[in-house]
Amino acid sequence: MRIISVIESNTDSGILGVESFGIFEEQLSQDVVDQAEENFKSKAIENGANEDDIETDIENGFYARRDGYTVSLVWSSI
């Protein structure tokens, strides 16, 4: 099974939250990826990301502010 996770962290306080989305069936994988990307997008915009640049942030799997806040898209397998 593959997993895509949205991880929020801050250099001062460490990990703030992890939300994981499991891909159980390959034919449904794009639906799961879309959910994870929407979650990433909402967290990034809520924390200052530019909406015009958000697609680039999604492609890079990473958004960061200067104060140490980050939100990332991370793939893993189990």
Instruction: Show me where the domains of the chain are located.
Output: 2-77
Task: Give the pLDDT of residue 68.
Answer: 93
* Low pLDDT (below 70) residues in the chain: 27
pLDDT at 27: 65
- State residue 65's pLDDT score: 93
Identify the three-state secondary structure at position 28. Answer: helix
3-class DSSP assignment, residue 36: helix
C-alpha triplet 69, 18, 58: angle, nearest 5°: 65
